[in-house]
Structure formats: C-alpha cells, structure tokens
Amino acid sequence: MVFSHAVVTGGAGFVGARLCAKLLAQGTRVTAVDNFSTAPPGALDPVIEDPRFRLLDHDVTKPIPVPGPVDAVFHLASPASPRAYLDRPLATLRAGSAGTENALSIATAQHARFVLASTSEVYGDPLEHPQRESYWGNVNPIGPRSVYDEAKRYAEALASATRRSKGTDTAIARIFNTYGPGMRADDGRMVPAFVTQALSGAPLTVEGSGRQTRSLCYLDDTVAGLLALAASGHPGPVNLGNPHELSVREIAEQVLAITGSRSRIVHVAAAEDDPRRRCPDISLARRVLGWTPRVSAGEGLRRTADWFAARRVAV
C-alpha cells in the first residue's frame, strides 16, 4: 500500500529518518516533525532536498500544524535510549502523553491510519519468555526506567481508547532492540557503545553479568515491519523484533570478532531494573503482516561497524 501523504513524528531520529526515506522511495509525500532534542546529526541529509519532503521543527507536545490531506501518521517522537530518557524524564513522559494525543488528533481529523511506535520495554523485566503480545508485562512504575516504559504503556492505552471511542484507525508496534547505521555513538545503547569502544581500542563495558539477553533487530527490518503494519489494517499490538536471542556478553564478543579489536571486556554495575531476558514471539507478525526479519545479527553488526569505522576515517 502506498500512502499519499504521511506524517512522521520523530522523523529526524534514528528510525524515523530511515522510515522517511523508505516512504519517499515508495512515492509518498512526507512531513517529518522533530524538535531535534535527541536526533543524530545528519540523519535527514539523504532526503532533505527531495521536493516531496517537508521538515517541521516542532515539539509534538504542542498541537502539530500539519495541513491535510494526510492518510498516515507514524508516531515515533520520544527519547529512546536509556541515556536520553533518563536525562529527559519529564519530556519523555510528555512525548508519550501529550505528544501521542496530538499525533492522534491529526489521524482522527484526517481519517488517517495511525501507527504508534511502542516498545518491548512495556514488558519490563518479563516473567514470560518469549514475550507474546498478550503478556501484560512486569514494569516497576516508579523506577528510573519507568519514564519510558510507562510513557509507552500510556501511549498504547491512549491509542486504544481513541480507536474505541472515536473510531480512529490505530495500530501499535512493539519494537525490540533496533540497531544499525545512523545511531548516535554517544546515545548509551549497547551496540553503538560496543562498536565505538572496539574501534577505539577501549574496553567494552558490559553491564552486570552479561548473561542478560537481547534480540537485535536491524534497522531496515524494523522499518519494513512498521510499513507492513501500516498497510495491514491490523490494530496490534504486534511485536517487531528478531527472535534470535543473544546474551549481552555474546554480542560484545561478536563485535570484537567483526572489528578485529583487541579490546578487552570489562563488567560494570547493572542498570536499575535492567531486563534479564528479552525475546519476542513474532508469530502474529508472521501471520498477519507476512513479516519476518531478514538481516542476521552477524551481518547487521558488520554493517553497523563498517558505518562507524567509515565515519572515524572521514573525521
């Protein structure tokens, strides 16, 4: 399905910028909305000159001035890395509450398809494994991570209530551990931290025991899942992630092997409320979207390391 005009909040972010590029490649006119509080520099350089692309420098917690007609709204605006949302706790909560309400207002007024970029963080430190969409989660509502977890849980509740009360065509995507070229080196997430440490010869800092698991989903696979969900008409929630589970220690070791680095691995204190296991059940995505991730962790980490290495050489 090709949309005529899509609004992408958080459109200058790591995932948002790639989504904008994919939409433009499909023939969609795109309005990206971002206040650039956490956006990686240059993320929109590949599309900024496209005449079908418009960039709106705007805070989504205020009403969003986008003229119609609009037939798709993708709401991605939020600090996403632990470092970003811990530094901006109240802004993160407002993005999930007022920001979601303002994005939903556009979709409702324009009778547009609305896709919420939620997160696997709604499952918290899960007691079910792998995590299915029917699982309600195990979140500490007052811990430091709750500003992100609960903001997304509230956004899901708001999208669902708006669908029931106003008939808005909403969908919820629960995104797992997305990574790839274009991430900020300093955003605090595991993959860019390991890659930049390995390339610079610094120790790779593994939090806690390193036995905690993650399921890495390459950027292009995540974006393909968002587009498939938008085209499907399914309300979700739908898990978008790679069910190939790796321990954090294994990911660090893969990065060392890919980069040829002689850096050592050191263990540091675990973050508070850090999930011990994280792995999606993607049966629903396979069935209703025909979607499954295509890029293996090894290949995705190689592409990511090559991208960071090229930037180091250029600098």
CA distances from 4 to 31, 72, 155 (A): 11, 8, 25
Domains of the chain (ranges; CATH) run: 5-180+218-243+279-294 (3.40.50.720), 190-211+245-277+302-314 (3.90.25.10)
pLDDT of residue 314: 42
**Residue, of 312 and 191, whose pLDDT is higher:** 191
Q: Mean pLDDT of all residues in the chain?
A: 94
Helices 146-166, 100-110: crossing angle, 10 deg rounding:
20
Query: Pseudo-torsion of CA 31, 33, 39, 43, nearest 10°?
Result: 10
| Segment 261-290, tens digit of pLDDT | 999 999 998 888 778 889 999 999 999 999
Instruction: Give 16-75 pLDDT, tens digit per residue.
Output: 999 999 999 999 999 999 999 988 888 999 999 999 999 999 999 999 999 889 999 999
Please give the pLDDT value at position 275. Answer: 82
Tell me the mean pLDDT in the region 87-93.
95
Catalytic residues: 148
**pLDDT tens digits, 125-154:** 999 999 999 999 999 999 999 999 999 999
pLDDT at 81: 86
pLDDT digit string, tens, across residues 158-183: 999 999 999 999 999 999 999 999 99
**pLDDT tens, position by position, 106-133:** 999 999 999 999 999 999 999 999 999 9
pLDDT at 315 over 50: no
d(CA 12, CA 98): 19
Cβ atoms of 125 and 138 closer than 8 Å: yes
Neighbours of 62 (CB within 10 A): 12
- Segment 209-235 mean pLDDT: 96
What pLDDT was estimated at residue 306?
Answer: 97
The structure's pTM equals 0.95
